[in-house]
Each structure stands twice: as C-alpha cells, then as structure tokens.
Amino acid sequence: MNGIHDMGGLHGFGEVPVETDEPVFHARWEGRIFAMTQVLDTTGIYNLDEHRHEIELMHPADYLRDGYYGRWLFAMERILDRKLILRRTEVDRRLDEQAANIPKFSTLTPQRQWPLTAQQKIRWGAQRPEEPITPSFAVGDRVRVRNLHHSGHTRLTAYVRGRAGVVSKVNAESWIYPDTRAHNVGDNPQAVYNVTFDAQELWGDAAEPGTKINVDLSEAYLEHDET
C-alpha cells in the first residue's frame, strides 16, 4: 500500500532528533509492549508481515502521532481482537472497571481462539531453505523495479518504483514474499536481491553527488530493464 509509513524521500520532518544518554526504553510501558510483542511473535497467532501491515493500516495522523511503541500497541490490540484472542471490548471493560474501582473484575468469557492447535499456528521467520529456488537475476544484471501499487502489504518502497538499478548481490536463499504472507495467502518463496541505484536515478537533479542507495528487493518486484 502507498502509506505514510513509506517515508523514503519525504520532506517536512526537520532535523534528525538526537538524544544524549538515551535509555533503552523511555517509559515502562514501552518495554512491556516490546517484550509482550516478542512473546506473541512466538505463539503462532500471526506472522511478522501481518504485524507490520497492521501498523501500516493505522490512520496516517495516528501513525505520525503515536510513536514507535504506540504503533506496536495499536497493532497488538488490533491483531488480538481480529484473531479472537482478546477482544477490544474486553480491554475496554477492564479499563472501565478499573476506573470505577470495582473490587472484582468481570470473568473473562471462555469463547476465544486460544490455545491454537498446531494446524492453526502461523510460521514466523522469512527464510525457507527447505524450498530451494533458482534466482532469475544475476549480479550485474540491470533491473527495473515494477510499478506496483496494490493496496496490501509490500516492502517495495515507493521511491524506487519504476527506477532502474543493478543487482549487486543475490541472496539465493528462498525467502517468503511479504506481499502475500502478510495476508496469509502463501509464502511464495523467492530470491531477494540487493539492488544498487545511482542517486541521480532516484532523485534527479536533487540527488547528492557520489551517493548510491542499496535496497533489498524480492524477485517479484523486479523485471529485466529493457531500455
């Protein structure tokens, strides 16, 4: 999807804000959300790309306002609600009861998709070495990035679409295709390439001299450059 998360090349965000003596987490809740997500990642409830896509589905204004771990909290709540593990209504009721100082919280209703059966569990990592693939491109090949604009998850950044570059590395490992895995419609294992772009190709006259941009791109994002 074309979203605010796909920030490469945008103006308007000012200087990079560097903090001195920065803690690992800036508030206790940030650490809890981070670590809870790590645990949930291992449960088979969802996969990495689903998590990323859930964040992308935030309204752009919320995305910009809620901060890094605020986005993770948002995604956690939405995924758990959608997957019938913990309903949003249950969280809201708990918060209401806390606010009202109820001595004993309501019992959680038993109907939920938990625990998951082995068949229901979704696999995590992105490498699929057991499904070997033959890459279509080789180091040195000139490739053009396809102009894809589908509404789902993608790792194809907007700023390279339609642009030509050179394959600088072939990660011949069999990797999942995020665009389909995020929607649980198949792993579609394929090669991931590192493609080198001249800055001029991406940014025209606004490019800084003597800079190259390297981006890792799935095979489905690329075609042979015909020009």
Partner 1 sequence: MTNHDTDNHDHDHDHAHHHRHADSERPGHSHAPTKPWQATRAEAVEALLHELGVIDSARVDEIVQHYEEKVGPKTGARVVARAWTDPAFKQRLLADGLAACAELGIGGPETELLHVVENTDNVHNVIVCTLCSCYPWPVLGLPPAWYKSSAYRSRLVREPRTVLAEMGLSLAPQVEIRVWDSVSEIRYLVLPQRPAGTENMSEDELAALVRRNAMIGVAKVAAPEVPS
Per CB under 8 A, contacts with its own copies among 39-58 are: 56-58
Task: Give the length of the chain.
Answer: 227
Residue 74 touches which of partner 1, its own copies, none (Cβ within 5-8 Å per kind): partner 1
Inter-CA distances, 151 with 1, 176, 180, 183, Å: 4, 19, 12, 11
User: With respect to partner 1, which residue has the nearer C-beta, 31 or 152?
Assistant: 31
Give the one entry of its own copies, partner 1, none that residue 123 binds, where binding means its C-beta sits below a cut-off of 5 to 8 angstroms depending on kind: none
What is the C-alpha to C-alpha distance for residues 95 and 102, in angstroms, rounded to an integer? 10
Answer whether 141's CB lies under 8 Å from 169's CB.
no
Q: Which of 4, 64, 55 is nearest to 33 (CA)?
A: 55
Interhelix angle 48-56/28-41, nearest 10 degrees: 130
> Closest distance between partner 1 and the C-beta of residue 73, in Å?
6
State in angstroms the smallest separation of the CB of 187 from its own copies.
21
Please give the Cα distance from 179 to 156 (Å, whole number): 9
Determine if residue 74 is left, alpha or beta; phi over 0 gives left, psi from -120 to 50 gives alpha, anything else beta.
alpha
Among its own copies, partner 1, none, the one that 210 touches (CB under a kind-dependent 5 to 8 A) is partner 1
164-223: which residues touch its own copies (CB under 8 A)? Answer: 202-206
Least CB distance to partner 1 at residue 165 (A) = 12
Closest contact distance (angstroms) between CB of 120 and its own copies is 29
Q: Which residue number, 14 or 226, has a Cβ lying nearer to partner 1?
A: 14
**Residue 125 touches which member of its own copies, partner 1, none, C-beta under 5-8 Å by kind:** partner 1
Closer to partner 1 by Cβ: residue 42 or 226: 42
